[in-house]
Amino acid sequence: MNEVDAPRKVEVNGVEYELRPGPIRQSLSDDAPMLWGFALRVFQGEEELGVKTVFVGRVSVQTTKPEALQGGMQDLAPVLYDLGIKKATEQLKAGETGNEILFS
C-alpha cells in the first residue's frame, strides 16, 4: 500500500467513514483502455458496511485530468481513486452505505 491507495476518511452528516480502495483493473483491448474498475470497501469504525464496485470511464478521466491518460498507472491511479471516492461519498450522503455498483 502506498499513499495513492491508502484508506481515506470522509465525514458525512457527522459520521466518519473509512474508504479502502482495492487494486485497479482495466479493460482489455488492443486499443487504449476505456474503463477501469476497483472495489472500494466502506467501513464505519471496524465494521465493514459494504463494497462499492467502482467503474471509471475514459471520458471521466479525460474531462478531469486528461494528462493522466498520457502517463502510466502512477499518473492514472490517483485520478481513478479520486473519481471513485467522490462518487462513493455522494452515495454515502444519500444514505447508501451498502453494496452497489457505481459508474463515474
**pLDDT tens digits, 82-94:** 999 999 999 999 9
Q: Which helix (H) or strand (E) holds 63?
A: helix 58-64
Interval 5-43: pLDDT, tens = 899 999 999 999 999 999 999 988 788 899 999 999 999
What distances in angstroms separate CA 68 from CA 25, 27, 61, 71, 73, one per listed residue? 16, 17, 8, 5, 8
| pLDDT for res 72 | 87
